[in-house]
């Protein structure tokens, strides 16, 4: 068994648990909001975070498949902090757990969103800094998008209206997908 295969087992287990959480929350969002006026909001958060998680899983192979030596501290700082953050985001994402009207759903989200946004911002900060320690070069546009993702994620901490949180979701989704398009263009 190679070092990569050994590391990939724990990474895959934690990411699998995070994916299960997001899929459960996605189904809860569909069932509990019954596509009321804000049902799309919760579903889109689940889907974009699931895409982020799968993107990290894909990038993990690209970043670590060739390694032969990695200390425990390098493992903890680089991939393990990322997967734990993704798992915590999947736990902290506030999705309605019962059928209520749209105003109560939005109030519940506003009351419970702080740990979610803190973890999301810390994850993107980690994604911005970790490539330096791995020796992975990012283009200037990728770096700009990474810092933009940190600012968009952190802005959710300070917003008081649900409409503003909808804007954060659209901005987050746009930035993430824009970053992915740039990475695709660079690799082609």
Neighbouring residues of 133: CB distance < 8 A, sequence distance ≥ 6 = 74, 77, 78
pLDDT value at position 130? 79
Alpha-carbon span 1 to 21, nearest angstrom = 29
112 and 106 Cβ atoms separated by less than 8 Å:
no
Alpha-carbon span 114 to 85, nearest angstrom = 14
Q: How far is CA 112 from CA 19, 72, 93, 116, 157, in A?
A: 21, 34, 8, 8, 11
pLDDT value at position 89? 98
Q: Using one digit for the tens of pLDDT, what is the confidence trace for 71-93?
A: 888 888 889 999 999 999 999 99
How many contiguous H segments (helices) and E segments (strands) does the chain have?
8, 0
Alpha-carbon span 19 to 1, nearest angstrom = 26
pLDDT value at position 23? 97
94 and 108 Cβ atoms separated by less than 8 Å:
yes
The pair of structure tokens assigned to 91 is 């736990």
96 and 32 Cβ atoms separated by less than 8 Å:
yes
How does pLDDT run along the chain (188 residues), one tens digit per residue? 788 888 889 999 999 999 999 999 999 888 888 666 788 999 999 999 999 999 999 888 877 888 788 888 888 888 999 999 999 999 999 998 776 666 688 888 999 999 999 999 999 999 888 777 767 777 788 788 888 999 999 999 999 999 999 999 999 999 999 888 877 777 76
Residue showing tokens 């909808």: 166
pTM beyond 0.85:
yes
Instruction: Taking the CA atoms of 4, 6, 11 and 16 in sequence, report the sign of the dihedral they define.
Output: positive
């Amino acid at each position: 068994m190679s070092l990569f295969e050994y590391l990939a087992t724990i990474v895959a287990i934690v990411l699998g648990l995070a994916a299960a959480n997001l899929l459960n929350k996605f189904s809860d969002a569909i069932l509990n909001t019954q596509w009321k006026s804000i049902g799309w909001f919760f579903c889109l958060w689940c889907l974009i975070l699931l895409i982020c998680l799968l993107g990290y899983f894909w990038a993990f192979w690209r970043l670590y498949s060739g390694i032969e030596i990695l200390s425990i501290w390098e493992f903890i700082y680089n991939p393990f902090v990322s997967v734990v953050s993704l798992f915590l985001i999947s736990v902290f994402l506030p999705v309605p757990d019962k059928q209520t009207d749209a105003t109560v759903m939005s109030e519940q989200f506003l009351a419970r969103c702080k740990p979610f946004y803190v973890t999301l911002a810390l994850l993107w900060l980690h994604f911005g800094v970790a490539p330096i320690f791995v020796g992975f070069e990012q283009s200037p546009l990728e770096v700009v998008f990474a810092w933009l993702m940190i600012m968009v994620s952190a802005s959710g901490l300070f917003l008081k209206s649900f409409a503003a949180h909808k804007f954060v979701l659209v901005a987050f989704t746009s930035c993430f997908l824009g970053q992915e398009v740039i990475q695709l263009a660079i690799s082609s």
